[in-house]
Structure 1
Amino acid sequence: MNSSNLDINQVRRTTADELFDLLRTDIENLTLVPGTKLSEANVARQYSVSRQPVREALIRLDHLKLVEIQPQKATIVRRISRSAIKQARFTRLSVELEIARRACELYHGELDEQFQQNLEQQNAVLDSGSLDRFNALDKTFHNLLCTAADCLMAVDIIQQCKMQVDRLCLLALTDVEAARQILTDHHAILNSLQDKDIERLCQVTTRHQHRLDSTVDHVQRDHADYFDD
């Protein structure tokens, strides 16, 4: 964690908000790996704040199942849970299938330029071998789908689901070819949307989400100590 990033004077945001965002980011990008112990006192000392906002931030992270607060003991960054990933994928697929159906009904090409620019950027980062931006571009692509369906509230639901799999995806996306499969899916999703082919769009969306199954197996083989089941 970089304490220089902490701005406790930011308007309308509390110290607890800032700490929550920083700790969540460090968990999601594996700066804080699964199993890491977090001490209220140490975090407070690192950021030169009192323990109260640290406690508030950790409670919020616990509610998101990103840390586990152990009374009278150190808080621990939760390990990756296959069962939590399975539930998150079920919820996300259900939401994205409804987004697909609604987008096919409402979309008339208004976002074509933004979609194409996003896909070109995805391809560029893969060509460069730099995968650190790919996850953010993937998020933008799916946000555009929510916009096409006129259902921006779904963005928050999808993001809550993604919190359970972001670390997994980061570990998996060290393989450029695996990332290219995701990009291929994105092209197929956009083509189906532009053709207003609801059946094909739902099929591609389902295939896209089910790629997670083999990803979990692959990552767990290489990082068994990051998993709890």
Structure 2
Amino acid sequence: MIASITGQVEHVGLTTAVVAVGGFGVQVQATPETLSGLRIGGEVRLDTAYVARKDESPLLFGFRSPAEREVFEIMLGVSGVGPRTALAVLSVLGPDDVHRAIAQGDAKAFTAVPGIGPKGARRIVLELADKLIVPDRPAPAAAAPVEPWREQVLEALVGLGWNEKDAARGIADALAGREELGASGDVPAILRTVLAWLGAAKAGARTGAERGA
């Protein structure tokens, strides 16, 4: 594994740079922020991650710090996240923001990354909840745990025709004061409860509209 490279910058492009190392020009993929700090003819040291995948040319990714490389490599373990998406996450959020979003269960933060929708963002938060741990930096005390059943219930409601915003609000309202049901993780029971609440809320709204007509 190529853990780092040190050499003179020969070229800086929009997404890549070339660094002269031992007589070879080594091309590295990097974030715009990393590339903006490079100067042709200047010396640079980059932490690197080598990615070789079946049916694809191997790529070398360069980072300004070990923290960036750590987040990149852990992101590659998420289902559906490839190296370019992982690099895009670092381009938009940075390692500290990624740690913060995971600790707080903030899936919305990842939807700011091109190519990551709400479903993919929730998957990232769920799969990285117990993997991205910052030494000597405890998660905020107010951070709520990410329940593994929530995505399943949300997807089921969206599949039944509810928009994601209303479905998410319905889950929160239907389970208010019923923490034991959420703690049980019983997806069918939770889904039935939320559907009953949403149905009652919809019927109430319709009755109110008819009375006001």
Q: Which has the larger radius of gyration?
A: 2
Report the structure, 1 or 2, having the larger helix content.
Answer: 1
Q: Is TM-score (shorter-chain normalized) higher than 0.5?
A: no
Report the structure, 1 or 2, having the larger strand content.
Answer: 2
